[in-house]
Structure 1
């Protein structure tokens, strides 16, 4: 459902911003309900977790951040299997307090994830056209004191934390993979 809604939303994103926002937001809500139902009814699967991770990535961010997000999640999932853990969210042994906070506190993780989704919608809604400079849009919006500028600032903060988490996640997962290889060589 989320993939179909996103396809329709992005097909109309520049011609009907209101419809895009509604479809995109509904898609995001479907994702949250799907995850809750999977956990509640014990229908969690590896395939579902990976599919969820891939479909959660928005299409409006720059390709480099999109690549970082997908790669860090993929590597995190891979390192989870190498270390014998059952969930990529099991980071209790991480040395990063921010990483532990992110995966250990659903409210904080939810804030960061929702901030990303809300930020993309706000930026699309306030941009006058698709070629407008993104930094100009953000700066102009933040200089105006309004509920939208406050929501934008809160969203940017959560989005920024999410990008930092992606970098930490990439490094942490890469370290697990390297340690796995070192241990494997010592056993051989």
Structure 2
């Protein structure tokens, strides 16, 4: 293996990515035996998602491998948590639908990005959707939506007492406990709602790019 290849694998942000993978493996292994530790490890791994990007820019260690590792780790982590929630709550179809939307939108976005020759899947300046552009242009806004989404899922996991919970009853019961709970849940749901809207827009936009690519290719032929 060339020394340059080994160097990329040993980039600081990529090492953080490996640690995230190991952390998530351990976290999901103990998710039902120690929910609090699982939630803590899962959230730390999520926070490290922001750190690896910061280190990549700081040390000029941005790489395609790192970007793919980062996204794959994010998607698998969220997918595993959504699968668990689908087994804990009823209707579980809600969480499986969210899982399908999350994977489909990001996979199509990554594929269409490379198809049209863009350097990053976050390059959406030519999008007609102001929400889509705002999401990827403003890191704080995107960070809030992502944090709200993940914290909401973690909160739901911590609130579940058994494997036959009604999602509606748990949410209503949580808000009735205090006004602070209602505000907290509203804050999370707002960010979560924006994130799901962006996922849908992203999926539709990426699908359109794939179709336009085929049309342009046929016209050239």
TM range (shorter): over 0.9
- Report what 1:134 is aligned to: 167
Hey, what does 2:49 align to over in structure 1? 31
Q: TM-score, normalised by structure 1?
A: 0.93
Give 1:154's aligned residue. 187
Structure 1: tracts of 5 or more residues without a match: none
1:5–1:23 Cα contact (<8 Å) kept: yes
> Counterpart of 1:60?
81
1:115 is aligned to 2:148: yes
CA distance in 2, matches of 1:69, 1:108: 18
Larger C-alpha radius of gyration, 1 or 2? 2
What TM-score does the superposition give when structure 2 sets the normalisation length?
0.80
RMSD value, Cα: 1.5
Task: Look up the match of 1:173.
Answer: 206
Distance in 2, Cα, partners of 1:147 & 1:8 = 32
Aligned residues: 188
1:48 & 1:167 partners in 2: Cα distance?
25
Please identify runs of 4+ aligned residues in structure 1 that moved more than 6 A.
none
C-alpha deviation, 1:104, in angstroms: 0.9
| Matching of residue 50 in structure 1 with residue 71 in structure 2 | no
**For residues 179 and 167 of structure 1, do their structure 2 counterparts lie closer, same or farther at Cα, with a shift above 3 Å needed?**
same
Q: Unpaired segments of 5 or more residues in structure 2?
A: 1-18, 83-94
